[in-house]
Amino acid sequence: MSAERFLLAFFIFAAAFAPASAAQDKPNFVIILADDLGYGDVGFQGGKAKTPHLDKLAAEGIRLAAHYVHPMCSPTRAALLTGQYASRFGVTGAQNEQAFPFGTPTMASLLSNGGYDTALIGKWHLGSGLDTPPDKFGFGYSYGLLAGGATPDTHEYKMGPHQRTWHRNGTLLDEEGHITDLITKDAVKWIGERADKPFFLYVPYTAVHVPINEPERWLKMNEHIEGPAQRLHAADVSHLDDGVAQILAALEKKDLRKNTVVLFLSDNGAHDDVDNKQDKYPGIDTRPHLTIRGSNTPFRGWKGGLYDGGIRTPAIAHWPGHWEAGVQDAPVSVTCWFTTLCSLGGVELPRAATGDGAHLNPMLANHAKNGPLEPMPIYSASPGYRARMVRLGDWKLIVTKGGGAKDKKGDRKELYNLKADPGESRNVIAEHPEQTAMLEEMLAKFAAHDMVVERDKGGKAGD
């Protein structure tokens, strides 16, 4: 063989095998997002529901004890995928309208451009119409709900234009089966079909969003809980836990666990008392009429609000061989995952997509060895901008429009030292004017970049 032919054959051989090798070096990403799961709803944080698989994942991974999201589902989902606080797009409550413009860089679109297979299996709720499905925002495959929380048996949204919402790749379909099982089954199948390319799988479950109805298996698992309402809620949590276990088992079966980053998160805190019959949803007579509530213990507040109960949620980060197990108390934002996963995936962020979050890998890789971290500011707005908050280090400021005063004039301002008062029970604003002034200035800078859009403000437990 001539030297020229040898070199040509060599380069053809190298070209054929180099991409696969490079692809194998990139980590896979799996994000599992629970719906309305409170800080105290899981066993590893003192919850009564049986969650053996999540407890094991938390013990083997990093439990993020101060992971902040937005107080409603659509905003958190927008922040997770774009790396920007959702109020940048005017998204502050649950909504069916398109959340952000076409062409907005998302985690899915950037990873897809970087050679990743991408899939969303579960709840989208960033544009409930057939003209705004996940595939228009970077997902190569999608299955589940275009709209928000749905009935567990017929997989329907609230009665109205988006009631029929179950789909595959933007085409509506009807299927039988419990909604949690269908989401899990499809996620497991999709993992089983992966070949050499790295992948990003986003699995936003509807559990534990009302309305709830659970098979006897999960009720029996939680028979230690007195009261049918709390037992039903716990059964839903345990059913979700089993779904997580099946996804992890699918990764193990393909020998992918060691090179897969797994995140378990929740979109907002648990809701206060809400009637499970949910008369806005079809099939009202098919589910238990019980008053359901979750647990945000030990924090104050609920879904829709800016006390920590509404925005500080369960979070686990796991990457075997890269992130040492333990507990990380430093406050972090859901916006950070956009920057972190894109960076780990070797994707260069466009200047317009730098986002509001930090790259967490240095912290996660060395959290057991490093001392106190430089605190990052955490910002959020409640539905309709009724209130805004900012946290920096131990200090948190909440400013509420109208302040709850009878004349609705002026704002109510609350300052809490979360290290001394994690339950936000004592407003110390009068005692710390300098700290208040600093946080007010920071809050104003964040708010200046918010987009005000007139929408249904939402913010109810069933949204």
What are 57's two structure tokens? 């994942």
- Spatial separation of the C-alpha atoms in residues 462 and 210, rounded to whole Å: 6
Write the single-letter amino acid at 322. Answer: H
Q: What does the pLDDT look like over 361-370, one tens digit per residue? A: 988 988 766 6
- pLDDT computed for residue 21 by the predictor: 41
Q: Are 85 and 446 in contact (CB under 8 A)?
A: yes
Of 62-66, 284-288, 293-297, minimum mean pLDDT range: 284-288
Smallest Cα–Cα separation from 400: which of 412, 383, 410? 412
Is residue 460 over pLDDT 70? Answer: no
- Spatial separation of the C-alpha atoms in residues 87 and 379, rounded to whole Å: 10
Q: Provide the 10 A C-beta neighbour count for residue 280.
A: 15
Q: What is the pTM of this model?
A: 0.93
Q: Provide the 10 A C-beta neighbour count for residue 163.
A: 16
Q: Provide the 10 A C-beta neighbour count for residue 346.
A: 15
- Spatial separation of the C-alpha atoms in residues 268 and 34, rounded to whole Å: 9
Radius of gyration of the chain (CA): 22
- Spatial separation of the C-alpha atoms in residues 395 and 120, rounded to whole Å: 36
Q: Are 300 and 310 in contact (CB under 8 A)?
A: no
- Give per-residue burial for 29-38: e unless 16+ CB within 10 Å, then b: bbbbbbbbbb
Q: What does the pLDDT look like over 225-265, one tens digit per residue? A: 999 999 999 999 999 999 999 999 999 999 999 999 999 99
Q: What does the pLDDT look like over 120-138, one tens digit per residue? A: 999 999 999 999 999 999 9
Q: Provide the 10 A C-beta neighbour count for residue 240.
A: 29
Q: What does the pLDDT look like over 2-27, one tens digit per residue? A: 444 433 333 333 333 334 344 558 99
**Whole-number Cα distances in Å, 303 to 25, 61, 206:** 40, 26, 15
Quick one: CA torsion of 34, 40, 42, 46, rounded to 10 degrees?
170
Q: What domains appear along the chain, each with residue ranges and CATH number?
A: 26-366 (3.40.720.10), 378-447 (3.30.1120.10)
Cα 38–Cα 99–Cα 315 angle in degrees, nearest 5: 25
pLDDT above 90 covers a percentage of the chain that reads: 84
